[in-house]
């Protein structure tokens, strides 16, 4: 009996010893895994650590393939977008001349006829001139010789000095002076030398679309009602043709010219109204940027700089802003009062202030501001 108890006690001691050893080994294995995990995490952080990394940098890295695809698609489809703008604008002009102008000459008073002819042709000339200049005018690029300019930084893609307000365009693969953005509808960058042409085109195109939408509202309502009546009569004609007897005659049908006229008026009003809303919003956005003396790219740079200085208890001021009114005078190139007529309300190929390499105080600025913080 005692021998059995001793044997049972020995077995139990051996079992407990095995459990302790297994537990120690398991804890040791867990500690080794934790140490390997912390070591790997530390190595990864040491290889990828960057004090400037934040959520924006990570997001830009994730979207880098999309940016690459957009850059290459935009580069090849720029010609298609330009052809689309020319085609749509030409179709609207053709509808106005073929369909609406004869009706205006027959029904409007002489005073309204003169108004429509004068304003419509002036607006059309301004649209064509500024769009042509925006497409054909180079936005401006830094000189190739590195000794000819003093750069505030080095472009990491061009490996060349980069003047103030200059940025690299990944689509054109060149640095652009005072770059605002690359516009696919121009197949060109918007920069120092064609920024005014781009904004003027947007402004006058918006004005032209609003003019066509307001002037053609009544015609659009009549044309839309006529198209609905066409559909109803066509349905009745098909029903009569299916149940036709000797004493029934089909209802009258609209001619091809009438159908084309009504559909053209509807097309004109819908297209002009849509473009007026979309392009009008873009024009207001750029007008706000011009009032602040910024470009689209500089808005984001200034926003980050403003937040950085705000944390330090400082106030950021844009060094390229001279006040709302003076910013518009500098942008439009208005040096004397008569320039509002000759350079703003009439086509003018005058150059902007400065060369885009340095930013001295323009002569049209009324007063010089105190030295400001650089971007």
Q: Count of CB atoms within 10 A of residue 170's CB?
A: 16
**List 183, 202, 212, 272, catalytic entry:** 183
Q: How far is CA 129 from CA 24, 132, 281, in A?
A: 85, 5, 22
Strands 174-176 and 167-169: antiparallel
212 is catalytic: no
Q: Where are the alpha helices (DSSP H) in the chain?
A: 2-48, 55-62, 64-95, 101-107, 110-136, 195-215, 217-242, 256-292, 296-311, 324-332, 339
Nearest to 258 by CA among 228, 232, 227: 227
Return left, alpha or beta for 313; rule: phi > 0 is left, psi -120 to 50 is alpha, else beta. left
Give the span between the Cα atoms of 160 and 157, in whole angstroms. Answer: 8
Distance CA 326, CA 324 (A): 6
Q: What is d(CA 252, CA 265) in angstroms, rounded to the nearest whole number? A: 22
**The 3-state secondary structure of 62-119, one letter per residue:** HCHHHHHHHHHHHHHHHHHHHHHHHHHHHHHHHHHHHHHHHHHHHHCCHHHHHHHHHH
User: In sequence order, what are the residues at sequence separation of 6 or more whose Cβ sits closer than 8 angstroms to the Cβ of residue 189?
Assistant: 139, 169, 171, 172, 176, 179, 180, 181, 182, 183
Q: For residues 237 and 139, what is the distance between their CA atoms, to the nearest angstrom?
A: 60
**CA distances to 94, 190, 331 from 87, in Å:** 10, 22, 30
Where b means 16+ CB within 10 Å and e means fewer, 111-134 reads: eeeeebeeebeebbebbbbbbebb
List, by residue number, the catalytic residues: 183
């Amino acid at each position: 009996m005692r021998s059995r108890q001793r044997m049972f006690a020995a077995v139990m001691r051996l079992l407990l010893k095995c459990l302790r050893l297994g537990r120690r080994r398991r804890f040791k294995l867990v500690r080794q895994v934790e140490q390997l995990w912390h070591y790997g995490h530390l190595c990864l952080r040491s290889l990828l650590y960057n004090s400037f990394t934040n959520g924006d940098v990570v997001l830009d890295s994730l979207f880098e393939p999309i940016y690459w695809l957009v850059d290459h698609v935009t580069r090849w489809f720029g010609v298609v977008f330009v052809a689309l703008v020319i085609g749509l604008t030409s179709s609207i002009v053709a509808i106005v001349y073929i369909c609406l102008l004869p009706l205006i000459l027959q029904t409007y008073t002489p005073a309204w006829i003169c108004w429509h002819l004068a304003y419509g042709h002036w607006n059309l000339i301004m649209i064509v001139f500024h769009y042509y200049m925006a497409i054909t005018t180079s936005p401006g690029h830094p000189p190739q010789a590195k000794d000819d300019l003093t750069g505030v930084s080095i472009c990491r893609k061009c490996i060349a000095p980069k003047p103030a307000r200059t940025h690299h365009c990944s689509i054109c693969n060149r640095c652009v002076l005072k770059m605002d953005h690359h516009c696919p509808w121009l197949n060109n960058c918007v920069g120092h030398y064609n920024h005014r042409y781009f904004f003027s085109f947007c402004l006058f195109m918006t004005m032209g679309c609003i003019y066509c939408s307001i002037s053609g509202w009544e015609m659009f309502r009549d044309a839309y009602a006529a198209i609905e009546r066409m559909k109803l009569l066509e349905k009745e004609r098909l029903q009569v043709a299916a149940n036709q007897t000797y004493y029934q005659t089909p209802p009258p049908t609209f001619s091809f010219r009438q159908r084309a006229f009504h559909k053209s008026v509807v097309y004109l009003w819908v297209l002009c109204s849509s473009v007026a809303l979309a392009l009008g919003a873009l024009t207001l956005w750029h007008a706000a940027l011009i009032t602040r003396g910024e470009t689209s790219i500089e808005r984001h740079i200034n926003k980050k700089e403003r937040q950085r200085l705000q944390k330090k208890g400082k106030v950021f001021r844009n060094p390229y802003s001279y006040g709302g009114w003076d910013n518009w005078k500098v942008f439009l190139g208005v040096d004397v009062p008569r320039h509002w007529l000759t350079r703003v309300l009439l086509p003018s190929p005058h150059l902007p202030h400065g060369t885009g390499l340095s930013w001295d105080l323009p002569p049209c600025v009324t007063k010089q501001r105190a030295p400001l913080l650089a971007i």
